[in-house]
Amino acid sequence: MIITATNLKNNLGEYLRAAAREDIIITSNGRKVARLSAYEDEKTTCGSVKETAKDYEVWPRKATYEEFVALWENSEERYEYIDGEIYLLSSPRVAHQQALGKLYTMLFDWFSGKKCTPFFAPFDITLKRNAESTNIVQPDLMVICDLEENINEKDYYMGVPSLVVEILSESSRSKDSVKKLDLYMSTGVREYWIVNTIHKQVNVFSFENCEVVENITYKNDEKLVSFLFEGLEISLKDIF
């Protein structure tokens, strides 16, 4: 794998894990300047555990729901399970968290005193395309309108959010724009916002009967208008 020094600086943890599988060549100004390789130390102390390349998995990877649950329950990492594949969730960057905080604050204020309630990740949502298909996702933001009637005995929410918001990152762009759009559309979510912090725009989808019935992209200083919640309007300049 060949990466730039800037990529290494911004994603050090990711590339340290990748180095367990293959050597990584670092470039600067177009020149190869260094190599990142796994460190093999045969002299381990008593009781220590030596990690090898097989300890690291490639994501996403195919798995049964039972395999996902076993991993999910015994790990401190965050995962999603979509259509039979496990996705490891990477740590969000500054722009992502700034947009998340601003949007949550605006939604919290707007829904104050109303039936629906906004939540933010980490918050597991279980979605089913059919009786045999279980998916577990962690949307960045969601608005839930059926909370009281859909909490199970373990205090987990088991319903379907009315509105879901995902904030794009480099690692999640394809998943959020394709896989999750299709998943949300086919499992009863009514409205989906895809927030792009790089291009400073928000794509808003309205779903009905497992189809996209309306779709608008808001840019620059435009004001986002919800299809589902009458009166919910957010100026993009307040997000970005």
Per domain, the residue ranges of the chain are 1-40, 94-239
* Fold agreement (1-40, 94-239): no
Give the per-residue pLDDT at 14: 67
List CB contacts of 115: < 8 A, sequence separation 6 or more. 145
Asked if CATH classification 3.90.1150.10 holds for the domain at 94-239, the reply, yes or no, is no
How many residues are given for the chain? 240
Q: Give the phi and the psi of residue 2 in degrees, each rounded to 5.
A: -115, 125
Q: What is the pLDDT of residue 41?
A: 46
**Residue range 69-120, pLDDT digits in tens:** 999 888 889 999 999 999 999 889 999 999 999 999 999 999 999 999 999 9
Place of tokens 């299709």: 182
By C-alpha distance, which of 123, 139, 115 is closest to 189?
139
* Res 15: pLDDT: 65
Low-confidence ranges of the chain (pLDDT < 70): 8-10, 13-22, 33, 38-58
Six token digits for residue 139: 């949307």
Q: Is 203 helix (H, G, I), strand (E, B) or coil?
A: strand
pLDDT of residue 206: 98
| Three-state SS at 93 | coil
Note the CATH architecture for domain 1-40: 3-Layer(aba) Sandwich (3.40)
Residue-level pLDDT at 7: 73
- Residue 61 gets the label, from left (phi > 0), alpha (psi -120 to 50) or beta, of beta
> What is the rounded CA–CA span in Å between residue 168 and residue 92?
10
Could you tell me how far CA 105 lies from the centroid of its own chain? 19
Segment 137-147, tens digit of pLDDT: 999 999 999 99
The pLDDT value given to residue 76? 87
> What's the confidence (pLDDT) of residue 177?
94
Q: Give the sheet arrangement for strand 79-82, strand by strand.
A: 61-62, 85-88, 79-82, 133-137, 125-130
C-alpha 40 chain-centroid distance:
33
